[in-house]
Each structure stands twice: as C-alpha cells, then as structure tokens.
Amino acid sequence: MNFELSDDQQALVDAARDFSVKALAPQAAEWDAQCHFPVDVLREAAELGLLGLYTPEAAGGLGLSRLDAVLIVEELARGCTSTTAYLTIHNMCAWMLGAFGSPAIHERFVRPLVSGEQLASYCLTEPGNGSDAANLKTTARREGDHYVVNGAKCFISGAGATQVLVLMARTGGPGPKGISCLAVPADLDGISFGKKETKLGWNSQPTRTITFENVRVPADCLVGQEGQGFTFAMKGLDGGRLNIATCSVGTAQAALDTTVAYVKSRKQFGQPVADFQATQFRLADMQTDLIAARQMIRLAASKLDAGHPEATAYCAMAKRFATDACFDICNAALQLHGGYGYIREYPIERMVRDTRVHQILEGTNEIMRVIVGRRLLLDHTLEMLR
C-alpha cells in the first residue's frame, strides 16, 4: 500500500485547492447568510471538469477514479461545504446517467450537465419513506411512448433551480425490483415545486419538495431497463456516501486550521490559549480523528474502484465514522473558540451547521450501522472486512 499521492493526484489536489481558495471560500459566508445558490460559480467549476468528475469519458466526463474524486472534493469542501455538497450530488446524477443511460441520454442530458449548461437534482427520498427507499410510492405508468408519473419527492437539493431530475419511480410491482430510473426535464407540465425550505445549514443550495401530477415523460428517458432503478440508486449511494463523508473531512480540516491559528493568537490568563495542555490534548484528538476519517474514506474509495465485493460495507463504515467524527471536530473547534465560535463573524458556527446534516443524508448513520452489522453476521463476509 502506498499512502502518498501520485504526481497526477497532487496536480488534481492543487487545482481544486486553488479553485476553492479563490472561488468558494471568500463568498461562503455571504452565500450562507443570503441563502444564495451560486450557479455562476458552479458553471466556473464546470470549466475545470468539476461537474463530471467520475462521469465516463464516453459521456463527456473526466472518468476519474472515486479515489481521485474524493481528493478533489475534500479540497473544495474546505472552501464551502454546502456548495461542494451540491456539486457532489450533481456529479452523482451525471455519473448515473452517463454510466447507465443510452447514447441518446448522453447527448440530451449528460453533456449539458458536465458542461454546466444544465444542473441536476437527485429524486429518491419521499415524504412517507425516508430510509425505506425500496418502498417508494411515486409511480411511472407506461402509456404508449410516454411514462405518466405521479407522486412526490422531498428534501431535494437544487429543486426549483435545476433543469434535470434523476427520478426513481415505480414502474412495476412492490419492492426494489419494481423501481426504474428516469431522466426528467424539470420544466415538464405537471411538475410543481414546494416552498424553499428554511434549514439549519446547507443554505447555499435550495431544498424543496417536488410534486408530479400526471407528468408525461418520453419513454426514451428511461435509464437502462425497467426494474434496474433501485440497483442504480444503491450504486450511486456508495459513491454518494463517500462524497458526503469527504465533505465532512474537508470542512473539519478547515475548522482545525482555523482553530489552530485562533488558539495561537488568543490570550487568556496572560498566555496564548495554545499553551494550555487541555488545548493541546483537544487539538491532538481532533487531528487524530481527522486523519483516521480521511484514511477510512480513501480505503473505501479504493475498494469501490477495485469492485471489491464488500465495497458497500466499506463505504457505509467510512460514511458513518467520518461524518460523526468530523462533526465532533467542528463542534470541538467551536468550543475552543469560546463565545467567538458562536457568532457569525467567525466561520466555525457555519461549519457546525453544515456538517450536521451529513449524519442524516445518503442514508442515516443508523442505517450505516445496519448495513455493516448485517454484513458482519454473514459468515463468509467477516474475513472480507479485514
């Protein structure tokens, strides 16, 4: 095992860091305060290939490995957690359509997504199901050359501001085998958007409910074959969990960097706060947990790239550990800032707010434990997870 980055990987990191420092970090606080969705900056990101990181080259993307992608995402998240999180959702949509869609879908949807001409939302979660995605209720009934879609999706990032909806809907019977995937233009008749949700964090991206009422979607917008949608969704979630975990790591790194500078400059009882042993112990724990989270994610990414049979369990473990540990790191950073950490003049409170949701989405951390626990109880799996 080689834990050092290759020259090519370091070049990717350097380019992402430069974009993060110049385009994301200076405006992150303003975007958060004004709940502004920075579409113009996302289009700038597209010029660097950042909207098609692991989308197949044949569909117009960069075709990077998942390991290379998490290296880039970490640097971007150091600049703005919320905007980077949306960027990773868009990447998942572009990848899903590029990996499983027809050449016609590549031309109609994927290339405009990769170029930044259009943006995408991922539509899986429903008001009554949440973690129980296999029992989703939104239906897509075939009528001639169209599917007629009825139902609702909730907590949809970018909804109302994006042009493409990657929709999971039921075309068959109950359970996961009845679910299919459709690429849906967001401006079709019968699609309506709920109010923009007021959220604790992730304020630089809008979140809305989407309702579908007799929406006629052309049949050639079907991705893959009928009944394959749930498989696509689960494959997407493996990478999505790594992406969100990586957003947590990038944010925790920024929080730690900010805190180290703060405790070195802040004086109490006649000496820098950094001189107190309690401060040094806390910083050491933060750094140790951060390194552990980063390495778990990179291990899981390498398993996913290699097609390891237990890649899903590795991704679940990485997501659970990294999002828990990195939220704690951000919270500890706020504590070390004292009262200043609680006011918006400093970035720490935003980092705490933005990382909290990572323990919920892409599968709650309780569901991550279910995935890993069930795999461990299979006799043939135990050796594979060592």
Specify the pTM.
Answer: 0.96
Please state the rounded mean pLDDT for residues 316-339.
Answer: 98
- Grade residue 133 by pLDDT with cuts at 50, 70 and 90: confident
Say which residues have a Cβ less than 8 Å from residue 312's Cβ, sequence separation at least 6.
234, 238, 371, 375
Q: In the prediction, which pLDDT does 201 show?
A: 98
User: Which residues does the annotation mark as catalytic?
Assistant: 362
Phi-psi region of 211 (alpha: psi -120 to 50; beta: other; left: phi over 0): beta
Q: Which two tokens stand for residue 315?
A: 């991704």
Residue located via tokens 């989703």:
136
pLDDT of 142 strictly over 80: yes
CA 248 distance to own-chain centroid: 10
Q: Is 358:245 a contact under the CB 8 Å cutoff? A: yes
In whole angstroms, give the CA distance from residue 34 to residue 29.
9
- Classified as helix, coil or strand, 254 is helix
Return the pLDDT at 129: 81
Nearest to 322 by CA among 225, 275, 252: 252
* Mean model confidence pLDDT for the chain: 96
**Cβ atoms within 10 Å of 206's Cβ, excluding its own:** 23
Q: For 125, phi and psi rounded to 5 degrees?
A: -65, 140
For residue 167, the cross-strand partners are 123, 182
Q: Residue 267 pLDDT more than 90?
A: no
Structure confidence by residue, pLDDT tens digits, 203-230: 999 999 999 999 999 999 999 999 999 9
Torsion sign across C-alpha atoms 20, 25, 27, 31: positive
Supply the pLDDT for residue 168: 98
Cβ burial of 123 (10 Å; 0-12, 13-18, 19+) is buried
Of 63, 64, 27, 58, the residue nearest 42 (C-alpha): 27
Confidence (pLDDT) at 369: 97
Q: How far apart are CA 7 and CA 304, in angstroms?
A: 22
What six digits make up the tokens of 302? 């390498």
Q: Where are the alpha helices (DSSP H) in the chain?
A: 7-19, 28-34, 39-47, 66-79, 81-100, 103-105, 111-115, 229-265, 277-306, 311-337, 348-356, 365-376
- Give me the residue label for tokens 């135990």: 382
At residue 354, the 3 state secondary structure works out as helix
Q: How confident is the model at residue 5 (pLDDT cuts 50, 70, 90)?
A: very high
Q: Is residue 297 within 8 Å of residue 246, measured between CB atoms?
A: yes
- To which residue do tokens 């990773």 refer? 88
Report DSSP letters for 81-142, one per residue: HHHHHHHHHHHHHHHHHHHHS-HHHIIIIIHHHHHTSS-EEEE---TTTTT-GGG---EEEE
The predicted-structure confidence for 57-106, as pLDDT tens digits, reads as follows 999 999 999 999 999 999 999 999 999 999 999 999 999 999 999 999 99
Residue 156 is inside which H or E element, if any? strand 146-157
The Cα-based distances of 347 to 246, 378, 386 in angstroms read 19, 45, 38
Whole-number pLDDT of residue 379:
67
